[in-house]
A and B are shown apart, each in its own frame.
Chain A
Amino acid sequence: MGWQFNMVIIMALVFGGTGWCVYRTMKSEDKK
């Protein structure tokens, strides 16, 4: 497992986590 794979995993967690929060917020705002 090289550093590139490691980088992709970490990026997915950080950017994915933030993106998921933003998505959930947008979804709940749409419902209002």
Chain B
Amino acid sequence: MAEKKKADQWSSRWGLILSCIGMAVGTGNIWRFPRVAASQGGGAFVIALLIGLFLWAIPLLMAEAVWGKVSRMGVIGSFKEMVGRKWTWMGTVVAVISLGIAFYYAVVVGMCVRYFVYALTGVIKPGLDSEALWTAFYTTPGAMVPWHIITMVAATLILFKGVSQGLEKINKILIPALFVMLVILAIRANMLPGSTEGLRFLFQPKWADLLKGRVWLEAFTQVAWSTGAGWGLMLTYFVYTKKREDIALNATTVCFADTMAGFLAGLAVIPTVFALSPDPQAAVAAGNNGLAFIHLTNLFTVMPGGVLFASIFFLALIFAGFSSLLSMVELGIRLLMDAGWERHKAAIAAGVGITVLGLPSSYYWWFQENQDWVWGVGLLLSGLIFSIASMKIGIQKIWNEYIAPDSDLNAPWMWKLITLFPLWFVIIFGWWIKQAASWYPESYMKWLPISDYAFTVGTMVYQWAILVVLALATNNWLANKSTVKFEATD
């Protein structure tokens, strides 16, 4: 029988919702959504994405919320409590995939901090060679390390203060400020001469694109990465909810707010690119880093008031990324607290651990990209685990006992769509495997050295296999360690 311990919890529902939105809205909303939406049919992509929210993200987030709220334990302990002791390894797999992302995501947020400082100190000015600046920063071993450490120190200090005094307070500032900044950027972008071309590009009716498989695959991929569904982060936040908390409505709110953030970023980024770039299509096709750190940075140097808007843009990226990073570090803290660690010690241990394990990604850009590939696609595996575990417990039972009693949304169909997840897994994972195999036609199963085979199928399969073997081997040990539940006070 697990021992119970009182935890500090969310002081208000809005604090919980804003923190969950902070968890979901990340850098991907700002630099991935606009360029993928623009290149995949604009309006048609958004429609496919909204459908994807219901088919994929909302049911998965609901499952996570049930796990956290019912078990009152972090990812590993929650699987032990919900599914059974011998299935603890499932929680270990989900937790390690999220932590694997946290290790390099802290570096990505550090990169945004570096560019914010570039903007504040006047480096982003007319005549700047933004490509040279980026290449020097990104490919010089060790250049990202100090910014990674600064980011992690800040995250650790906030989480040291706990849920209501640290996490909730900071998210109540970060998230409203983020939306205000996105609105300011969107208004400014649409006042630029020529920006209408960007809106036209984004919204030109291309409804026939809804018949293209690629649009749906990109929309579902965006849903998987952007909403944080299946990461175990919503689960961790729901450990600290009050006894009565609406799971269905909160999950839906988080997903729509996440889409709105991406959409606002699209209204800011695409018109800016079309108004100022000599080759807008190249900017949109340049990838996440290329768009933000090379093309947009270059455009800020020629935009009237560019320093101010570069500062706002990179600050928005930091707020979006940092609020997501906090949830990943909290996931690690929660795991240690389940094992009986006191919060302060757990915060320092998780902060130091993620900083140290993030060093390879902050030192070598190819390692960072490899980890992004391996654990980014690994999120599909996490989603599959939640779906299978839900079916094992009983879809109707979960709705009746855990979701419906406190839900204002009487929509069991939204929850039951989680049963379709294995189908989406096969389609999306199959698509990624097919793509990755074509990148290395002769050697797609090779994985060492990582610098030569960063995006192979092999590097993903082997690292996943190592994780699953270790999770199975440590099943009983971790089940024994995860014993401390947290009890909500009302």
Contacts and interface: CB of A to CB of B under 8 A. Distances in A.
A17 B409 CA distance: 14
Interface string A1-32: 11111110111011101101110110111000
Range, interface on chain B = 20 to 34
Interface in B230-259: 246, 249-250, 252-253, 256-257, 259
Contacts of B14: 25
A30 to B, nearest CB: 12
B256 to A, nearest CB: 4
B395 interface: no
Interface stretch (B88-96, B198-206, B278-286, B397-405): B198-206
B259 A14 contact: yes
B260 interface: yes
A9 to B, nearest CB: 7
A10 B408 contact: no
A29 B252 contact: no
Contacts of B481: none
B46 A13 contact: yes
B256 A25 contact: no
B17 interface: yes
Interface string B45-83: 011001000000000000000000000000000000000
B43 interface: yes
Chain B at the A interface: mostly helix, strand, loop or mixed? helix
Interface of A: 1-7, 9-11, 13-15, 17-18, 20-22, 24-25, 27-29
Interface in B4-63: 13-14, 17, 42-43, 46-47, 50
A13 B379 CA distance: 27
Nearest to A9: B43
Contacts of B250: 25
B469 to A, nearest CB: 42
14 contacts: A3-B203, A3-B204, A4-B203, A6-B204, A9-B43, A17-B50, A17-B259, A18-B257, A18-B260, A21-B249, A21-B252, A22-B253, A25-B246, A28-B408
Q: Which 9 A-B pairs give the minimum distances between C-beta atoms?
A: A21-B253, A7-B203, A18-B256, A3-B203, A17-B256, A6-B203, A18-B260, A6-B205, A6-B43
Contacts of A14: 46, 50, 256, 259-260, 263
A7 B44 CA distance: 11
B253 A10 contact: no
Max count, chain A CB within 10 A of own CB: residue among B14, B43, B200: B43
Contacts of A9: 43
Contacts of B47: 10, 13
B426 to A, nearest CB: 29
A18 B259 CA distance: 9
Nearest to A19: B256
B252 A10 contact: no
Given A10-B43, A25-B249, A29-B13, A15 B203 contact: no
B46 A10 contact: yes
A24 B204 contact: no
B249 A28 contact: yes
A25 B43 contact: no
Contacts of A25: 13-14, 17, 246, 249-250, 253
